[in-house]
Amino acid sequence: MTQFGAFPQGGGSLVGVWAPNATALAVIGDFCAWNTAAAAPLMPMGGGLWEGLVAGLMANGRYELLVTRDTTPASPPGDDPVNHRLDVAARDTDDSSLDNKTNKSWVVDTIQNWRPFSTPGFDDLIIYQCHVGTFACRGDGLVAQDGVASFAQLMTKIGYIRELGFNAIELLPIQEFRANRSWGYNPSFFFALDSAYGDPASLRALVDACHASGLAVIFDVVYNHISDDDSSFYHFDEESDGTGDSYLGTFRTPWGWAPAFWRQGIRDFFLANMAMYLVEYRGDGLRFDATRMIEAARGWGNDGWEFMQYLTWEAKSLFPGKYLIAEHIPDHDSIVSGAGFHATWTDGPFDWMVAALQGNDPVGNIERLLGSSFGPGRNYPFSWSVIKYPMGSHDKIGDMNNGANGNRYFAQRFGGRDNWYARAKARMAWALTAGICGTPLLFMGSECHMDGYWHDENDANGDHRFDWSIAGDWMGMGMRYLVQAANQTRWNHGALRNGLLEVTHRDPNGVIAFKRWNDSGDLVLVVVNASDGNYTGMSYGVATGQAGQWQQILCSQDAWFGGWDGAGNAYYEPWTQADGRVYVNVPKWSVTMFRLV
């Protein structure tokens, strides 16, 4: 596999750069006192790749590239054909600026004494999505630099995430982006980490600490576009007339130009980027942002579909066992069966969950949510082939427009954390997520009814970072206990992770039930009540499609979570009756689970 960037080797560094338009390429830096006359030349290796061992360029050394461009057609009088460029594959930079006078590329030593860790089986993943810069330093006594939390400060929250019962975290993009505050989807560099978050050693330490605690780490990568601001790709090896940028494609996304996906050098560049996350940082998976935009590049001179196929094919060969996720919205099984990803995000379950809890055909919408992995046009091979986030992802909860887009934390959509019904609906939403097919994903703050919406900085409505001052209040703790219990219930029952699903009961008054089972003999009945109907006295008959005795294993309306004493069926183990029903309490706005004894 082609290596891009600078790698310490012996008394120097091996430097690899893809610049097919360049006629010569050299390296200057601290090692030669930035003297261009003493620049170390790189040699052409074919296919636009330049490579060379640069003596004296050691780990933690700064450097930049001298890219000699073609002078045909003739350059304007006085124009220097040699351009000073930052390395597009540098593992670290001072910041996102393209000003070579203040910003330099850095050589990074990637050696780390990693503790042993095996990526969990895909069936077993329960994912917590978080944003590095906003997950700490508000209400927790930690001090952020310019309002941005760091990798080191995120490390202090690992125990919190594990206590909730998650075994994976998915980080919003962490590569270098313009300015210090951002959601991360505006990449300036693809290999360098954002300087506000910390250096590569800090990220390696974070990943190692996550692994030591049992947390897998999934990185979010943005390959669909090149940012319009501070992009290292622009003008990198352009010709003298200002044309011919090798890295730029011909298709424009809503956020910037797509890369030149059809070029082998670009494909190898992004394959090397994947390898950086999965090898140098020991990542356990990658989530590709907005793959519909990559797919759309077909017919515009770029073949984005073949680009994705190339990356997934190579990644499965080189990095087996790593989870490859596409944000393919609207979802379609072709992104798995054709483009080669293991899984895709699907946002239908979020829309259906919100509609059901707003009283809009609750039984029908919950059944759509249950069946959203299967049926016509959705022939996904495994439960883990879809990522489901019925309480919302960053895109459903985050808002860059002072809240005008209408995005909100889940409880906020139903009256806010001070509203009992809103909290109950949030509890049942996550309990249901833990019981359905698909890989569950929760966005940070949802587990404690965070207020309003999320954003990475202050806006007209104040600060929208994760607020630790309310995460542990009695309202937040009730939801946290529920999330912990629901996740543990999923852990305890393989049928909830990889079992089959069949709807057994439909009541137009808002109650629906389904069973999950697997070949190991584990069988769970899940009863959902999306209504004000409160059925007590063990009087409600639920069709089970299954004979036998039942034991309650979870009730989202238990007092411990914020409901009330006696809401569920504790210490009551009923049998399926002759009419095929089991008679139980079904609290209002609840999810109740039973196991077959």
Q: What are phi and psi of 375, to 5 degrees?
A: 105, -175
What angle is formed at CA 162 by the lines to CA 160 and CA 165, rounded to 5 degrees?
Answer: 115
d(CA 441, CA 285): 14
- Return the pLDDT at 179: 83
Q: Is 87 helix (H, G, I), strand (E, B) or coil?
A: coil
At position 332, the amino acid (one-letter code) is H
Reported as type and span, the H/E element at residue 257 is: strand 256-259
- Return the pLDDT at 75: 52
- Return the pLDDT at 586: 98
d(CA 503, CA 528): 11
- Return the pLDDT at 375: 41
Q: Is 304 helix (H, G, I), strand (E, B) or coil?
A: helix
Classify residue 86 as exposed, middle or buried by CB count within 10 Å of its CB (0-12, 13-18, 19+).
buried
Classify residue 116 as exposed, middle or buried by CB count within 10 Å of its CB (0-12, 13-18, 19+).
exposed
CA distances from 546 to 138, 525, 550 (A): 50, 9, 10
Q: What's the CA dihedral at 462, 468, 472, 476 to 10 degrees?
A: 50
Q: What is the mean pLDDT of the chain?
A: 94
What angle is formed at CA 153 by the lines to CA 227 and CA 444, rounded to 5 degrees?
Answer: 70
- Return the pLDDT at 98: 75
- Name residues of the chain where pLDDT drops below 50: 78, 374-377
- Return the pLDDT at 250: 85
Phi-psi map region of 439: left, alpha, beta (phi>0 left; psi -120 to 50 alpha): beta
Of 521, 494, 394, residue with least CA distance to 445: 394
What domains are there in the chain, each with its CATH number?
5-106 (2.60.40.10), 124-391 (3.20.20.80), 499-596 (2.60.40.1180)
d(CA 239, CA 66): 14
Reported as type and span, the H/E element at residue 251 is: strand 248-253
- Return the pLDDT at 377: 44
- 454 forms beta bridges with 398
Q: What's the CA dihedral at 66, 71, 75, 81 to 10 degrees?
A: 10
Dmax over Cα atoms in the chain, in whole Å? 95
Of 546, 539, 514, residue with least CA distance to 527: 514
With 0.85 as the threshold, say if the pTM is over it: yes
d(CA 249, CA 14): 28
Of 447, 221, 434, 411, residue with least CA distance to 324: 221
Q: What is the pLDDT of residues 395-407, one digit of tens each?
A: 999 999 999 999 9
At position 452, the amino acid (one-letter code) is G
d(CA 465, CA 463): 6
Q: Is 28 helix (H, G, I), strand (E, B) or coil?
A: strand
d(CA 240, CA 74): 7
d(CA 169, CA 162): 10
Pairing of β 523-529 and β 590-596: antiparallel
Q: Where are the alpha helices (DSSP H) in 385-446?
A: 394-397, 420-435
Q: Which two tokens stand for residue 129?
A: 């999505």
Pairing of β 22-29 and β 40-46: antiparallel
